[in-house]
Amino acid sequence: MTEPTVRIDLGERSYSVRIAAGLLGETGEALAGATGAKQAVVVSDTTVAPLYAQPVLDSLTEAGITSRVLTFPAGESNKTLATVSAVLDGLLLHDPPIDRKSVVVALGGGVVGDLAGFVAAVALRGVRFLQLPTTLLAAVDSSVGGKTGVDHTAGKNLIGAFHQPSGVLCDVETLRTLPKRELRNGLAECVKHAVIRDAELLDFIESHADDFLSGEDGALAFSADGMIELIARNVAIKAKVVAEDERESGVRAHLNAGHTIGHAVETFVGYENIGHGEAVALGLVAENALAVSRGLLRADVADRVKNVLAMLGLPVRQGGLDADEIWRLMQHDKKAMAGRVRIVLPNALGDVNLHDDIETGEVRRALEALQ
């Protein structure tokens, strides 16, 4: 199979996403080509660094780039300004410190990518960075598009900056060590992409579900070609949306399908108790039910999406949700405008619109689809 490369077309901020097996070993060459840098700092977490930092460092050394690794403890609870501050210390207090030509290399899942990207956005008023995603979610979503940032006690991702990477190298072999639950979190975002832009992607996911989830936790046995195709198709969707609306003043909001109810459910249930993709799966089921009740979407299409999510082992039911509290959380979501809930609803697979006239009773009924 030829190596898929997806171009993110953003004028002078354009870059390529390469997807293949073994790309970690090409980091040095890619970085030298894309940036000409002589110094790089790899930022990673305590789970990913022991698994994958060495081949990245070796490759950087081979390309004549001086490099070192900074790690922080894995997990969403560390995606904070305190960690940003510690990583900035590691960049600026080192001898020699980074300079404007240095590059930050984000090696890890979405937590590492968002945090390291934000560090790169603010260090010396902005240095370049490279994304090396090691989760499916990071590969198909967070490593592409330039949203960087960290969480605040007031909510997730409330502090951040748009800062596009100089390139993305997605080495599918790294995904084999993922726990299946993490792979499923990424698959939920793939189903979301199918719902908003690409009906045929849903067929592809459905027909490859067994392959993607084959093997044991931490030793996944998917076929590299199937995984590469899955990622390339998803990145192509995200590339198109981001090229059309980099700063989310329009169609980029479509990427929030499943997320308005999903985020509220995630907050209600507690981040420690539910994966982000699991919450998105529940959000898609409830939002699709809402679209059906508005007469926008056929019930059999909503059922099909629900069945594919269930087939992937994602949750499609959640008991104990308090509809009033979910509605309150939706009104406080950062996507809400002046207290008006905004929600992306499908008319058919691949065709969605943003709605801002949602009422509490509709959400209450939609949540019944999760019982």
Residue 141 beta carbon to ligand NAD: minimum distance, rounded to whole angstroms: 4
Q: Does 252 bind ligand GLY (CB under 6 A)?
A: yes
Q: Give the integer Cα–Cα distance in Å for 218 and 266.
A: 25
Residue 177 beta carbon to ligand NAD: minimum distance, rounded to whole angstroms: 4
Contacting range for ligand GLY; rule: CB under 6 A; set: 14-22, 51-59, 139-147, 312-320: 139-147
Q: Does 108 bind ligand NAD (CB under 6 A)?
A: yes
Q: Hey, how many other C-beta atoms are within 10 angstroms of the C-beta on 270?
A: 8
What angle separates helix 199-212 from helix 299-311, to the nearest 10 degrees? Answer: 20
Q: Does 8 bind ligand GLY (CB under 6 A)?
A: no
Residue 347 beta carbon to ligand NAD: minimum distance, rounded to whole angstroms: 24
- Pairing mode, strands 167-171 and 66-72: unpaired
Q: Give the integer Cα–Cα distance in Å for 213 and 332.
A: 36
Beta bridge partners of 68: 41
Q: What is the distance, to the nearest Å, from the Cα of residue 359 to the centroid of all Cα atoms in its chain?
A: 29
Q: Are 285 and 305 in contact (CB under 8 A)?
A: yes
What angle separates helix 199-212 from helix 224-244, to the nearest 10 degrees? Answer: 150
Catalytic pick from 185, 256, 266, 288?
A: 256
Q: Which of 21, 74, 124, 310 binds ligand NAD (CB under 6 A)?
A: 74
Task: Choose among ligand GLY, ligand NAD, none what residue 18 binds, the Cβ cut-off being 5 to 8 Å by kind.
Answer: none
Q: Does 121 bind ligand NAD (CB under 6 A)?
A: no
Beta bridge partners of 66: 39
Task: Choose among ligand GLY, ligand NAD, none what residue 188 binds, the Cβ cut-off being 5 to 8 Å by kind.
Answer: none
Q: Which of 28, 90, 109, 262 binds ligand NAD (CB under 6 A)?
A: 109
Query: Which is nearest to 163 in space by CA: 113, 223, 99, 91?
Result: 113
For residue 332, which amino acid is it?
H
Active site residues: 125, 147, 189, 238, 248, 252, 256, 259, 263, 276
Chain residues binding ligand GLY by CB under 6 A are 141, 145, 147, 248, 252, 255
Chain residues binding ligand NAD by CB under 6 A are 45, 47-48, 51, 74-76, 79, 108-112, 114, 134-135, 137-138, 141-142, 145, 147, 156-157, 174-175, 177-178, 182, 185, 276
